[in-house]
Chains A and B, each alone.
Chain A
Amino acid sequence: MVLTASPKTRAPRPPGRPAPRRRRSRLRVNAQVTIALLLIAGFVLMSLLAPVLAPYDPDLADGGVKYLGVGAPGHLLGTDELGRDILSRLIWGGRTSLVVALVASLASTVVGSVLALVAGLSGDRAAGLVMRTVDIMFAFPVIIVALVFAVILGPGTPVVVLSIVFSAVPYVTRVVFAEVKLQRGREYVEAAVSLGAGFFSILFREVLPNVLGQIVVYGTGLVGGMIVFSSSLSALGIGVQPPTADWGRMISEGAKVIITGNVYPALLPGLVVLVVALAFNWLGDGLRDVFDPHGRRAGR
């Protein structure tokens, strides 16, 4: 009769309503993600192919061609204060900058998320312990931490990565923790317990899929900032050591000569960092929209 058939024929919600709008925004979102991915892929490829692409040895100083402007013959993007080819240094510099930022972001996202998941799903006491530790990490001045690492390990890329991880983990933990707490209150977690799921099963198979979107979005958003941040650490002299090419170092070295009227040595790497950071932010933004409409709609 009518009644038993009705669940199958009835739509879950008045359909058609948000559809046109959603379709349009999906398209725009996809375009944004595509552009971001293309940019990122381009920069990664550029760094990988540095030996082939770079017209000069990035560290080769030629006193005869200092401060060439953009478009100078033989040096497409000019030269810096030591007469090094800026284009070559940008291409090579991607290797250190991108690797540092990606490794550091990935590490902090993973560490922070695991901490948050464990804290969010264990008892109040464990959660308190983790979150208060995170608070203490928040309170540490990053520069001091970086200096301590530098003293212990000697200046270099690992110091930069470690310092970044130390400073970013608390943010990741807080953001993910809030989300885990929210999910934990949902009935499906209780249902999982009643279905015999153990701690790790609840952690990885029930809750993680529901917070993964947030984690990925936040993690990608970190990368842009991390490139800038690693630059400033290198500028302090505790990161990448000269003469190794690195976008951050290029900015800081270039900044010293801006006063002489030569803006390119600082401006060009600055623009590159800007574009890369933007690409990662776009990627994060786009992923948020891709992840969200689905999850949000289903969650409510």
Chain B
Amino acid sequence: MTGALLSVRDLSVEFGRGPAAERVVDEVTFDVRRGETFALVGESGAGKSLTASAILGLLPDDAVVTSGSISLDGEEVLTAERSSVTRFRGSKIGMIFQNPLASLDPSFRIGNQLKEIIGLHRPAASKRERHEIAETWLRNVGIGDAARVMSAYPHELSGGMRQRVMIALASLSGPALLIADEPTTALDAVVQKQILDLLIGVTRETGGSLLLITHDFGVVSYAADRVAVMKDGRIVEQGRRDRLLAAPSDPYTRALIGAVPEIGSRARLAGRGLPRRFRAAGGDGRADAAAATPGEGAVTGPARSPLVTVRNVTKEFVVGGLGTGQRKRRFTAVRDVSLEIERGEIFGLIGESGSGKSTLSRLVGGLLRADSGEIVFDGRDIARLPKAELRRLRPRFQFVFQDATSSLNPRVPVGEQIGRPLLRFGKAVSRAEGRARAAEVLDLVRLPASYLDRYPHELSGGQRQRIGIARALALEPDLLILDEPTSALDVSTQAAILDLLLDLRDELGLTYLFIGHNLAIVEFLCDRVGVLERGVLLETFGAGELSSGDRHPVTRALLDAVLPIRREAPVAD
């Protein structure tokens, strides 16, 4: 554990030249020691990935290193000859990207891709030897049926499997440094943990170091030895993980950690008499206790009457068939699901990807028709309603989609996207009135009215999601269906959006159906939770009982996969 393997000193990277140049990495200094896992954390645009690119010598053409040095194992990387940089990349540094589907070549079998890399590092190895090494490595990264995977194409593997293959590819030369850029962001929580374990295991085995780039403090807490927090190209704080998580000294780090949803933070806030908001969890005492807990608890009205009743709903999809080159087969996305959503409550749906959460939400929102069963919305069965009547009912249940970027029309100004449905349903009689109403809902989501004339690409991710919420709210719905509305956002933005949702629920008396994969968010936000697996609703329970002992094993597995932020007192070393 002595001496730095990688040492980055005063590294600055700028885009463009001259006075117009933009500094995106600003005098960054850190060391990665031998055998340790070092994490670079920060929100999007903080300069984490560019720092990694600079280490690899893979900066984009218009980026220039203006100062600093990077030395790996005593050799300077920045001034090295091109040919030796290539050698570095292969033998001393391995790289793992966020999206393994994009970084594996789609038209070659996994085996061939592995063998090609082996050939580069061990030119003397015979064909048989290369094949054996490749198979061994696949087994090393926890792939049981290595023989099948060897002859598979990347698209035939699941996301987790692909990431395993990537890890094998990057580490089979035994690099001294493995750089992993958001290696688990695209993966399910359960798989995320496995991949992190694997990364740590592989680096330990090869004796290398791991530079982990992430936005997720859960990942940091689980995997890192030391951490550097980046913001706007600068490192604001670095140190040992335990020290940094337990007692962050920089206000930005504190705010960032405070914004991370955690299991139990809801109970903690309630215990301290604070409102259930992330801004209260930030802990700087600015939360006004006066706003505490109106509308807390599921039902506010005297009579319990469900807004939505789902009875024995089943939905099948037919895949393949004529002209697709695949055998026609059916699969049941939602199987015999029954549930009730009370007025004013937030109902959470959790489950792994592919468990049927999104399908169920689209059934409830009338975007898909159920094959059998009833979906009664305020007394009317929308599963069987004629098209025209369903359309008249649509303003009353609205969607907020996962990806605000693709759910907003890129070619239509924001104001028109909000105003058009209002005119359609006669909630505004003129364009001017629609605009005025649109301005009102923008105010509701805390955006200025001047945003009405902007196009979606002129907005940040968080602003886009606010527009998505505003567009849905403009129609004054009773039910808002939220399909992982914050999963594409940075933590601080996510916290702001979730707070906004809670505020709006109280202000407007809304009911939410919230689909989430992040259990901490679901526990924080929801009143009741339903767990789906392979289209079957396994159980529903109050959010407070998420951690209780008599939960279904599937629920417990989901819970186990959550990576908490450990805040125990710093350990002396």
Query: Which residues in A have some Cβ–Cβ distance to B below 8 Å?
Result: 1-4, 6-8, 10-21, 186-188, 190-198, 201, 205-206, 209-210, 294-295, 297-300
Contacts and interface: CB of A to CB of B under 8 A. Distances in A.
Given A11-B45, A12-B458, A209-B412, A1 B62 contact: no
B369 interface: no
B401 interface: yes
A1 B286 contact: yes
Contacts of B284: 1
A196 B282 contact: no
Contacts of B22: 14-17
Interface string B410-421: 111000000011
Interface of B: 15-16, 20-22, 24, 43, 45, 60, 62-63, 251-252, 255, 258-259, 278-279, 282, 284, 286, 365-367, 391, 394-395, 397-399, 401-403, 405-412, 420-421, 424-425, 446, 455-463, 466, 468, 471, 475, 492-493, 495-496, 499
A10 B391 contact: no
A88 to B, nearest CB: 47
B180 to A, nearest CB: 21
B399 A191 contact: yes
Contacts of A8: 463
7 contacts: A2-B492, A3-B492, A6-B496, A10-B462, A20-B16, A188-B410, A298-B410
A209 B367 contact: no
Contacts, number: 142
B367 A190 contact: yes
Contacts of A11: 45, 460
A201 B411 contact: no
A198 to B, nearest CB: 7
Contacts of B457: 12, 294, 297-298
Given A11-B460, A16-B16, A194-B367, A3 B282 contact: yes
A191 B16 contact: no
Contact of B279 (A3, A7, A186): A3
B420 A205 contact: yes
A18 B394 contact: no
Contacts of A297: 457
Given A4-B279, A195-B471, A17 B286 contact: no
Contacts of A15: 22
A210 B409 contact: yes
A190 B471 CA distance: 14
A197 B410 contact: no
Nearest to B388: A198
Contacts of B461: 12
Contacts of B399: 190-191, 194
Contacts of B471: 191, 195
Contact of B411 (A187, A210, A300): A210
Contacts of A7: 460, 462-463, 466, 493, 496
A132 B51 CA distance: 52
Contacts of B495: 3
Nearest to A186: B406
Given A12-B457, A191-B399, A195-B398, A6 B409 contact: no
Contact of A10 (B258, B395, B409, B460): B460
Contacts of B424: 195-197, 201
Contact of B391 (A18, A188, A196): A196
Nearest to A195: B421
B407 A20 contact: no
With a 10 A CB-CB cut-off, give which of A14, A209, A295, A299 has the most chain B CB atoms.
A14
The 10 closest A-B pairs by CB, nearest first: A298-B457, A16-B22, A7-B462, A298-B410, A209-B411, A187-B407, A195-B421, A196-B394, A187-B406, A17-B15
With a 10 A CB-CB cut-off, give which of B278, B411, B475, B496 has the most chain A CB atoms.
B411
A299 B455 CA distance: 12
A76 B464 CA distance: 63
A201 B424 CA distance: 10
A3 B278 contact: yes
Contacts of A1: 255, 279, 282, 284, 286
Contacts of B492: 2-3, 6
Nearest to A209: B411
Contacts of A186: 406-407
B45 A14 contact: yes
Nearest to B46: A14
Nearest to A205: B420
